Amino acid sequence: MTQKIMTKTLEKRNVPYLALGGLWEDDDVQAAHKVSAAATGPDGNFFPLPEEPDFQKALATHEGAAHAVAVNSCGTALDLCMIALDIQKGDEVIVPGLTFVCTAGTAAARGAKIIFADVDPQTLCLDPKAVEAKITPRTKAIIPVHFGGHAADVEGFDAISRKHNIPVIYDAAHAVGTKFQGRPIGGAGLANCYSFQSNKNMTTLGEGGAVTSDDAEFAEKVRGLKTFGYVYGAKLRVTQIGFNYRMTKPQAATGITQLAKIDRVIAARLKAFRLMAENLKDVEEITLPVGLDENHGCHLFVIRVNFEKLGASRAEFVKKLKEEWQVGTALHYPAVWDWEAFEHLDSDTSDTPVTHEACEQVLSLPLFPTTTPDDVEYIGQALRETLASFSQ
């Protein structure tokens, strides 16, 4: 049971779960304004995009990949990868159940059967051993998630990919700046799909994404697919049926300024993450995230609470924390198979006990680059007091 040992009682404050996950500063505003002003002048337009190759080059360099293709969301990044792999009805794609819906949804949209494998109980990333047990002759792709900014087991999935000749496409929506054993994850697997949506550690005007890859042929195929199948060169060609998944000029411009500060954002988040882990280390009802070091992208601080043992539902706990302490939280995530749109998948999840348990216990705390040590102390006190109120 939690011991309510406090050195002082902190004054009540509002600690919301912010919609903006990174830092948005004057240089970002000026970058968007400069491009917009130039584009709307007498000789201006919003196309072509000289800012886009600069952003792609900077992103590829930062993430340790040979190639980067900017797109308008992580969902479209994953969709493009599924199309590039020719995923279709009858194929199987292995994913975790603890993830945002598009990890599974993009493959399901192509007609693939979604196969859920269990996650690692410590990292909450897809477990390579659980994945290998699910491989069949119909397996066409594996989509691990770098959950919360913690790298998936790249080494383990590399071994599986080589052994079974199955491409690995990482969902890196949480993982700008994440490293695996000291190396950026952008070149891992066949591709990594990033998100720059507003609550991520960096954003390109609220939406945006990218595909990174060390495979030149795959990157070029994705590049063509995202712009109606066009291949630009001495002769303009359309080599495949494609779409308009492009990023805009202002987005690319702000991507450059946002990327320039991402290391500072992650460092600030890591400081807050470590302070919170230290603050809560003696709270036996809480399981803390692991691997909080310089390899971690520090996007989500996800704790786990055994609400059933506590004698309260997660909704009751969250409500009390919000109403009595003004501390906001978020849920990352309900199990994919619990969403109404996925009920038709008919996927067996009986052998994913870790995922089932985690999805009932996870809760994300409001830690951001602007979070102060006093905020951390206050959140810790709020959690202790709320836990204790249900334990009485």
Confirm whether 6 is domain-assigned.
no
Are 233 and 112 members of one domain?
Answer: yes
Q: Are 99 and 145 in contact (CB under 8 A)?
A: yes
Are 102 and 169 members of one domain?
Answer: yes
**Can you tell me which residue has the tokens 């809480």?**
286
Domain that holds residue 128: 26-258
Alpha carbons 109 and 117: distance in angstroms, whole number:
19
**What is the value of pTM for the model shown?**
0.95
Tell me, what CATH number does 106's domain have? 3.40.640.10
Are 252 and 327 members of one domain?
Answer: no
Alpha carbons 147 and 100: distance in angstroms, whole number:
10
Confirm whether 359 is domain-assigned.
yes
What pLDDT is stored for residue 208 in this prediction? 98
Long-range CB contacts (within 8 A, 24+) of 27-33: 27/257, 27/260, 28/254, 28/257, 28/258, 31/250, 31/253, 31/254, 31/256, 31/257, 32/205, 32/250, 32/253, 32/254
Are 277 and 224 members of one domain?
Answer: no
Are 268 and 182 members of one domain?
Answer: no
Confirm whether 7 is domain-assigned.
no
Q: What are phi and psi of 19, to 5 degrees?
A: -80, -25
- Show which of 258, 273, 296 is a domain's final residue: 258
Are 297 and 364 members of one domain?
Answer: yes
What pLDDT is stored for residue 2 in this prediction? 52
Q: Token pair for residue 121? A: 């109980």
pLDDT of 385 above 50:
yes
Confirm whether 374 is domain-assigned.
yes
Share the mean pLDDT of the chain: 94
What pLDDT is stored for residue 5 in this prediction? 45
- Show which of 201, 223, 258 is a domain's final residue: 258
Tell me, what CATH number does 383's domain have? 3.90.1150.10
Which residues are CB-neighbours of 263 under 8 A, at least 6 positions away?
177
pLDDT of 165 above 50:
yes
Confirm whether 62 is domain-assigned.
yes
Write the pLDDT tens digit of every residue in 217-258.
Answer: 999 999 999 998 887 777 888 888 889 999 999 999 999 999
Confirm whether 8 is domain-assigned.
no
